[in-house]
């Protein structure tokens, strides 16, 4: 019998990948994805602990779900509520204590057990929790996801050993694990057979990838990219998220020699101040970061960069902040993500005594975001009158309009372009509008 499944995904691309896998896992049990929570027999909230006030947002959502679940019960309809992902891992049994509507809590390393956990919850009529870190890779138990469209995520590495003092990932995703190269290659082949042309290789610390190759020798991300690039159907390759400490020669060489590897790299620096980087336990300096930027530009002159910035980290002075502004000017980023520092329970930075007042954090963030916006606008404006190849992936807001993705992750619109849907087309950029570009066929 058909059952409706609703999955709400928060946060990172890794969670998007995990949600797709969950849907595939549950399909043999009769669950079909539904866009409405109101009609759902099962609701899965796949949570992220990186964003500010992640736990509070979860409990607010669960309050709304509780009301919906009560309404369904009056109609003799059941609704199983599952909290998955990193908040599930971090909060554990506390979720049951704070929200009575939750039936199951499952961590990001345990969701491969969902079919068994659901059967157990239905059989025993009680709440179920699984937040263990398995001794056998969860990827061994996951089915090949059925994808729609021409772009897909492919998880190659999970966990992190860096222990940045502001970050919960090592505690919620565990230590680093890299999938064997042939396992990744087979999944990429399967994606290509479904029509996928654009693959993003994912990992919490993706360029620390060190999976074993077919000869049981340790490989790396540069070699893996070159292997995936040999698949005919794959036209574009990206990877994220990287750590500056894990950039290596083979990866830089891949940027210079592999045409399918897009000329755009998200390389988070977090701060422009060596003092703050040391306090964060980032294990790299600004000088080392800039050496990587220079080497990548030498290998691929048309490469552009994006980054992450944390403003108002404990102990950050105005001088430290000005060094962050300077690094934005020096690298000349095409786009960036920036956030006010927000304490994460259980992390070392959360108990530091030199916390920055909220008003100072807000004022600094505004200055940084204004500079970032100016840099992004200048980068987009620089494309007016120039040609680029765009992969058009979906219909736009207006009739006949399609929207695609440039090599630099810009949204590109094309009018009267329905015949170009799911194709790579050379276009000429005619206009820059906020965060997107308009184009005509070249």
CB atoms within 10 A of CB 359: 9
Q: How far apart are CA 390 and CA 251, in angstroms?
A: 24
CB atoms within 10 A of CB 322: 13
Task: Select from 194, 295, 282 the least CA-distant residue to 251.
Answer: 295
> Residue 395: in which H helix or E strand, if any?
strand 387-395
Any known ligand binding at 101?
Answer: no
Are 272 and 326 in contact, with CB atoms under 8 Å apart?
Answer: yes
Task: Select from 180, 85, 97 the least CA-distant residue to 139.
Answer: 180
173 class by beta-carbon count within 10 Å (0-12 exposed, 13-18 middle, 19+ buried) = buried
Are 9 and 46 in contact, with CB atoms under 8 Å apart?
Answer: yes
Q: Report the half-sphere exposure of 135 (CA within 13 A, side-chain side).
A: 0
SS3 for 364?
Answer: helix
Backbone φ, ψ for residue 58 (5° rounding) = -65, -50
Any known ligand binding at 12?
Answer: yes
Residue with the two structure tokens 């565990």: 174
SS3 for 188?
Answer: helix
Any known ligand binding at 336?
Answer: no
Task: Select from 172, 168, 237, 230 the least CA-distant residue to 198.
Answer: 237
Any known ligand binding at 258?
Answer: no
Q: Which residues carry a binding-site annotation? A: 12, 48, 86, 160, 164, 167
Q: Which residues carry a binding-site annotation for [4Fe-4S] cluster? A: 12, 48, 86, 160, 164, 167
């Amino acid at each position: 019998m058909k059952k409706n499944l609703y999955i709400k995904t928060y946060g990172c691309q890794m969670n998007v990948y995990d949600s797709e896998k969950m849907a595939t896992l549950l399909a043999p049990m009769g669950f079909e994805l539904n866009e409405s929570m109101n009609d759902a027999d099962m609701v899965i909230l796949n949570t992220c602990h990186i964003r500010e006030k992640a736990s509070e947002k979860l409990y607010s959502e669960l309050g709304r779900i509780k009301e919906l679940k009560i309404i369904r019960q009056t109609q003799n309809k059941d609704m199983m509520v599952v909290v998955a992902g990193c908040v599930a891992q971090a909060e554990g049994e506390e979720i049951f204590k704070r929200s009575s509507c939750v039936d199951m809590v499952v961590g990001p390393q345990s969701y491969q057990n969902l079919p068994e956990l659901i059967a157990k919850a239905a059989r025993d009529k009680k709440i179920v929790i699984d937040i263990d870190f398995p001794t056998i890779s969860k990827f061994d138990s996951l089915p090949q996801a059925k994808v729609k469209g021409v772009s897909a995520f492919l998880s190659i590495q999970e966990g992190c050993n860096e222990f940045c003092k502001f970050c919960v990932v090592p505690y919620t995703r565990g230590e680093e694990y890299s999938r064997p190269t042939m396992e990744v290659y087979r999944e990429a082949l399967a994606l290509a057979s479904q029509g996928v042309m654009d693959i993003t290789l994912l990992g919490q610390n993706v360029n620390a990838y060190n999976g074993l190759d077919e000869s049981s020798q340790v490989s790396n991300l540069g070699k893996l990219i070159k292997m995936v690039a040999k698949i005919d159907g794959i036209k574009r390759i990206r990877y994220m998220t990287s750590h500056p400490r894990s950039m290596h020669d083979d990866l830089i060489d891949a940027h210079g020699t592999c045409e399918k590897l897009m000329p755009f790299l998200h390389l988070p620096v977090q701060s422009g101040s060596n003092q703050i980087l040391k306090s964060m336990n980032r294990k790299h300096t600004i000088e080392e970061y800039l050496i990587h930027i220079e080497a990548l530009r030498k290998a691929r002159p048309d490469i552009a960069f994006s980054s992450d910035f944390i403003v108002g980290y404990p102990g950050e002075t105005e001088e430290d902040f000005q060094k962050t502004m300077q690094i934005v000017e020096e690298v000349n980023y095409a786009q960036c993500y920036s956030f006010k520092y927000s304490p994460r329970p259980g992390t070392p930075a959360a108990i530091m005594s030199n916390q920055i007042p909220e008003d100072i954090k807000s004022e600094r963030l505004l200055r940084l975001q204004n500079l970032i916006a100016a840099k992004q606008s200048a980068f987009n404006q620089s494309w007016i009158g120039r040609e680029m190849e765009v992969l058009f992936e979906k219909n736009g807001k207006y009739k006949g309009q399609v929207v695609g993705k440039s090599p630099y992750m810009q949204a590109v619109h094309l009018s009267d372009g329905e015949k170009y849907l799911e194709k790579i087309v050379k276009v000429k950029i005619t206009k820059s509008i906020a965060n997107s570009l308009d184009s005509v066929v070249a």
